[in-house]
């Protein structure tokens, strides 16, 4: 009989208030370490998830603190998947771009970080709201 | 996040302890922008920063640009491994004057 592994899944309902970001960072760091990434990689994953939340606070909720962010972090067979749902303004796809690395512009840094750290990133609009999904694989195939 | 500012000769040194994120970077920005016009050299000690995100990096870029407009120096020193990784990830390490120690940053070593 095939054995199905039970894996960790954490769900957060986070107000769009920056003071809660530290709580999520602490949990994500611990989860990434348990899955098997080293200290440096854990810090990068924490940063990427934090940047995704920060993008929602800034661009979907325009820094309002009464919005809701539903974050689900799921251990998968090959790593970690995070899904972030919000009910704020939909992202302008033409503006979802990483910054040019050679310029000194501040905008787009967060998106650049997310795309650099995570192996797979997608955005979609659903009946429930804006949905951002990102995956990180434990062993990245080259 | 805790911020303190002290005078070292004709320069000012800003010390930051804690996390710099979307919630705290406005305080850091305010402190740096207030201190910048008052000195020729403003040095920021990043040794006690446990975490910095893109809003923190954006703040530092803003301050650097303002310093260049004023003709003042804005220098960084004591980057912790966590901060150094974010600087490398965002490729801004080459944008800032970065030093190992306060003495090197202020040219007093």
Q: Do A116 and B89 touch (CB under 8 A)?
A: yes
pLDDT, average across residues B22-49 = 97
B50 touches chain A (CB under 8 A): no
Quick one: how far is CA B105 from the chain centroid? 11
Q: What is the pTM of this model?
A: 0.89
Give the SS3 label for residue A42.
helix
pLDDT at A108: 81
pLDDT at A5: 78
Q: What are the chain B neighbours of A58 within 8 Å (beta carbons)?
A: 22
B86 touches chain A (CB under 8 A): yes
Set out the domains of chain B in order of their start, with CATH numbers: 2-106 (3.30.750.24)
Q: What are the chain B neighbours of A104 within 8 Å (beta carbons)?
A: 61, 64-65, 92, 95
pLDDT at A101: 44
Residue boundaries of the structural domains of chain A: 9-137
The CATH class, in words, for A9-137 is alpha beta
Q: What is the pLDDT of residues A68-126, one digit of tens each?
A: 999 999 999 999 999 999 999 988 766 655 554 444 445 689 999 999 999 999 999 88
B74 near B67, Cβ under 8 Å?
Answer: yes
Per the structure block, which two tokens stand in for A80? 């970690």
Give the SS3 label for residue B33.
helix
Interface of A with B (CB under 8 A): 17-19, 21-22, 25, 40, 43-44, 46-47, 50-51, 54, 57-58, 101-102, 104-107, 109-110, 112-113, 116-117
Per-residue pLDDT for B19 more than 70?
yes
Per the structure block, which two tokens stand in for A138? 């434990």
Other Cβ atoms less than 10 A from the Cβ of A118: the count is: 23
């Amino acid at each position: 009989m095939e054995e199905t592994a039970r894996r960790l899944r954490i769900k957060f309902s986070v107000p769009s208030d920056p003071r809660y970001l530290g709580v999520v960072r602490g949990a994500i760091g611990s989860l990434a370490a348990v899955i098997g990434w080293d200290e440096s990689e854990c810090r990068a994953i924490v940063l990427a998830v934090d940047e995704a939340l920060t993008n929602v606070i800034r661009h979907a909720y325009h820094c309002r603190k009464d919005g809701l962010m539903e974050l689900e972090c799921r251990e998968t067979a090959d790593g970690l998947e995070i899904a972030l749902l919000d009910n704020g303004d939909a992202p302008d796809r033409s503006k979802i771009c990483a910054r040019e690395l050679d310029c000194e512009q501040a905008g787009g840094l967060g998106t650049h970080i997310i795309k650099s750290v995570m192996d797979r990133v997608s955005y979609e609009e659903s009946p429930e709201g804006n949905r951002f999904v990102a995956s990180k694989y434990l062993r990245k195939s080259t | 996040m805790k911020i303190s500012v002290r005078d070292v000769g004709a320069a000012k040194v800003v010390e930051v302890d804690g996390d710099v994120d979307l919630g705290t970077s406005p305080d850091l920005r305010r402190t740096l922008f207030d201190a910048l016009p008052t000195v020729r050299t403003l040095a920021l000690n990043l040794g006690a920063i446990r975490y910095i995100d893109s809003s923190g990096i954006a703040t530092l870029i803003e301050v650097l640009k303002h310093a260049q407009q004023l003709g003042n120096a804005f220098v960084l020193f004591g980057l912790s491994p966590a901060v150094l990784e974010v600087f490398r990830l965002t490729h801004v390490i080459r944008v800032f004057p970065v030093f190992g120690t306060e003495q090197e940053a202020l040219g007093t070593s």
